[in-house]
Structure 1
Amino acid sequence: MSPVRYAVLRLITAVRRRTRRWAASPPALDVIAALSCFSLMVLDVPGLAGDDNSLTGLTATLVLGAGAATLVLRRRAPWVPYAVALVLLGWLHELTLIQFALYSLGRFRGRAAGVLATAGYVAVAYALFNLPGWPERSADTLSSFLSLVVPIGVLAAGVGIAAYRHDLVRELAAQRARTAVLKAVQDERISVARDVHDLVGRELTVLSVRAEVLAVRARGGSYEKDFDELAETARRAHQMLNDTIVHRADERTATPGLDGLAALAAEGMAMGSPVVVEVADAAYGLSPLRQAAVYRVVQECLTNAAKHAPGERVTVSIAPEGPQSPEGPGAPHGPVAPGGARLRVVVRNPLPAAAPVTEPVSSGTGTLSMRERVAAMGGTLTAGPGDGTYEVVAVLPAGRRPAAG
């Protein structure tokens, strides 16, 4: 196949796809409805031009075209074609547009609007039906009215209401399908989390028991305290695993806030890294959700510092960001408006003079997890070395503090 022919075929295929997509779109369907209504009303043009209504074939066509054109508003403003249809009903005795208008009201506004519009149409039509000249009066006027005008309106509105209910059922089915997918994903996550809990929990239990055995064997020796601390750490890690996976899956526990930073600092001290935490008083007014995010960021930073810079001093600074906030890397320039107040979390530690003797166990996703957590709160996080230190800076919206009382 030649390149030119191939390019032409691709162009034709793309045009067909775009045409099919446009034809299925709501605006295209509205235009098709207007054209369909106009094509039906055009059949009445010869009769309208012959009646005593001051219209010629051309002007009657233009009037009917203008009336049909209002159907492009049938989704946004279905009462507009309805009102125009009533005018054409009284002026030209035209029943086609009112059928489309009643269907549109039932289709896009539901049963109440459809019933109300049908009642209004029947009342107006009955009043017009009893006027001289529309339609040809006969002895059985009421029976003619009931057999012609009323069924037209009721049928059109009824079909529209049925379509409206069908749309509701279809949307409900789609919503249920989406909910089922989300539930399946959530169940799978809980299943994976519990598998992790079972596997990792077993290893932590083995570690705890083994450390306790070694502590008994080293009773009275210089390593007894170290083995006891190791066993206690394993038990605490197992408890944290339970709290994080099992209890959270049941929604019965919450992440600590800023009050839990003291315990994190104590753990860092126990691991051999001095930790200094400075928290501004105003930071304690944050919502529990933001405090939990700050707690997780600081926890991950202290864990990384213990892995990659053991024994180095770690400083943690948490304070609202504004004109009086200390200068430092990552600080924005200029004052912060009261409505856009932010919280700045800075964690620093010196870079170690030499690499650790043993390579730390790390998944390499800690910084990414912190960044995603802060981004979910509408903030930013930067991390990296500079001037002999490793610094993590998180800036997130402070939010509105809860009112007192």
Structure 2
Amino acid sequence: MSPRAVDAVTALSCFALMLLDVPGLAEADNSLGRVSATVVLAAGAATLLLRRRAPWVPYLVALGFLGWLHELTLIQFALYSLGRFRGRVAGAVATAGYILTAYLLFSTPGWPAHRGDSLSEFLSLVVPIGVLASGVGIAAYRQDLIRELETQRAETVALQAVQKERTSVARDVHDLVGRELTMLAVRAEVLAVRARGEAHGADFDELAETARRAHHMLNEIIVRRADERTATPGLEGLPALAAEGERMGSPVELTITDRARRIPALRQTAVYRVVQECLTNAAKHAPGETVTVHIDVEGARLRIEVGNPLAAEDPAREEPVSSGTGTFSMRERVESMGGVLTAGPRDGAYHVLALLPSGL
């Protein structure tokens, strides 16, 4: 439900409660009849529509209702709103102002007699109502802050996971492209030596120098982190991943088609990272279940599909420790290469499907 809808429901609820007092107001106050009392109460309840942007407005109106109509319903909603949307200090100040106002009103000659209650009897009702309404609002305000903090923390963790994966992608680009540039430079130098004195000798020297400059620029642009010096493996690392998964109690059925084995090295690192994260998640959340991994090339698309049955509910099993950022990392790796990734439960199993250009 949207905040505006909640505010509308709150205002209507307050109005419905105050309607119960209309007969008594019409009888006790000669200036108001049933219809006029209903209109006045409706206008007061409508101020609760401002409780998020201007919570002091319904509060001041409620104090007016307290002195004029001896009405306590609106002040409860107003104090809750101040505590909920302005915090502890505003709630405490509003509660103190409310109690002081009630005390001054009941100290006015003739006012307690008109009410028919003694001051002590009324204050025994006024103080608990104000403190309780404001206290509940302040507690809700604290819960809102906690939820907001948890959301921000989750977003920060997700951003850190994405940034880490971007660093990993950059490192892999550096390693793979740098290796090719080094080989190009060495090959050009060999050809330059062989063609020395011939017409194309200078061209080979220029090609070797261009390759060296490109490698130097790659080193300047992509800075590898000191704690991430090991390059991400390719398809050749998947059998070891599968064996590790089996040692962790989750058998792995690994299928790699011949055409998929010919994809470029950078695509292979994406395959490895997706499979690695999927096997880790399966070991955490579905231990003992068989994981199927299928890697294929369909037309111009590389298809990575991983699935495992959902684990049966076991009250005795402890929840695994998980940061919940694995999907963010997988998605960042796949999307950085122009692909898409979907992950989630389907037909009693958890499926991960990554599609990206094969590069073939």
> Where does residue 234 of structure 1 map in the other structure?
211
Which amino acid is the alignment partner of residue 155 of structure 2? R
- Matched residues in 2 for 1:244 and 1:106: separation? 52
Q: 5 Å matches for 1:43-82?
A: 43-82=20-59
Identity of aligned residues (%): 72
When structure 1 is superposed on structure 2, of 234-243 and 51-60 the one drifting more is: 51-60
- Matched residues in 2 for 1:119 and 1:51: separation? 28
> Where does residue 111 of structure 2 map in the other structure?
133
**Structure 1 contact 74–81 (Cα < 8 Å) conserved:** yes
When structure 1 is superposed on structure 2, of 129-138 and 172-181 the one drifting more is: 129-138
When structure 1 is superposed on structure 2, of 125-134 and 93-102 the one drifting more is: 125-134
Secondary structure, aligned partner of 2:116: coil
Q: 5 Å matches for 1:5-404?
A: 24-131=1-108, 132-134=110-112, 135-138=115-118, 141-142=119-120, 144-246=121-223
> Where does residue 19 of structure 1 map in the other structure?
none
- Matched residues in 1 for 2:11 and 2:39: separation? 14
- Matched residues in 1 for 2:111 and 2:141: separation? 37
**Structure 2 contact 84–138 (Cα < 8 Å) conserved:** yes
Offset, 1:38: 0.9
- Matched residues in 2 for 1:26 and 1:223: separation? 75
Secondary structure, aligned partner of 1:246: coil
Which amino acid is the alignment partner of residue 101 of structure 1? A
- Matched residues in 2 for 1:52 and 1:65: separation? 17
**Structure 1 contact 53–92 (Cα < 8 Å) conserved:** no
| Structure 2 unaligned blocks of 5 or more | 227-360
**Structure 2 contact 87–141 (Cα < 8 Å) conserved:** yes
**Structure 2 contact 174–218 (Cα < 8 Å) conserved:** yes
Offset, 1:32: 0.8
CA deviation map 1:124-157 (0-9, x unaligned): 011112233334354xx44x35521111111111
CA deviation map 1:19-50 (0-9, x unaligned): xxxxx112211111111001111111122122
> Where does residue 290 of structure 2 map in the other structure?
none
- Matched residues in 1 for 2:104 and 2:35: separation? 29
| Structure 1 unaligned blocks of 5 or more | 1-23, 251-405
- Matched residues in 1 for 2:206 and 2:40: separation? 92
Which amino acid is the alignment partner of residue 91 of structure 2? G
Q: Which has the higher contact order (CA 8 A, sep 6+)?
A: 2
CA deviation map 1:241-271 (0-9, x unaligned): 1122227x89xxxxxxxxxxxxxxxxxxxxx
- Matched residues in 2 for 1:148 and 1:77: separation? 27
- Matched residues in 2 for 1:50 and 1:145: separation? 20
Q: TM-score w.r.t. structure 1 length?
A: 0.52
**Structure 2 contact 103–123 (Cα < 8 Å) conserved:** no
Offset, 1:220: 4.4
CA distance 1:102–1:28, shift in 2 (3 Å): same
Structure with max Cα Rg: 1
**Structure 1 contact 106–160 (Cα < 8 Å) conserved:** yes
Which amino acid is the alignment partner of residue 230 of structure 1? L
Q: How many residues align?
A: 223
- Matched residues in 1 for 2:204 and 2:145: separation? 65
**Structure 1 contact 126–145 (Cα < 8 Å) conserved:** no
Which amino acid is the alignment partner of residue 186 of structure 1? Q
- Matched residues in 2 for 1:146 and 1:98: separation? 14
- Matched residues in 1 for 2:44 and 2:89: separation? 24
- RMSD over aligned CA atoms reads 2.1
Secondary structure, aligned partner of 2:31: coil
> Where does residue 318 of structure 1 map in the other structure?
none
Offset, 1:228: 2.2
CA deviation map 1:251-310 (0-9, x unaligned): xxxxxxxxxxxxxxxxxxxxxxxxxxxxxxxxxxxxxxxxxxxxxxxxxxxxxxxxxxxx
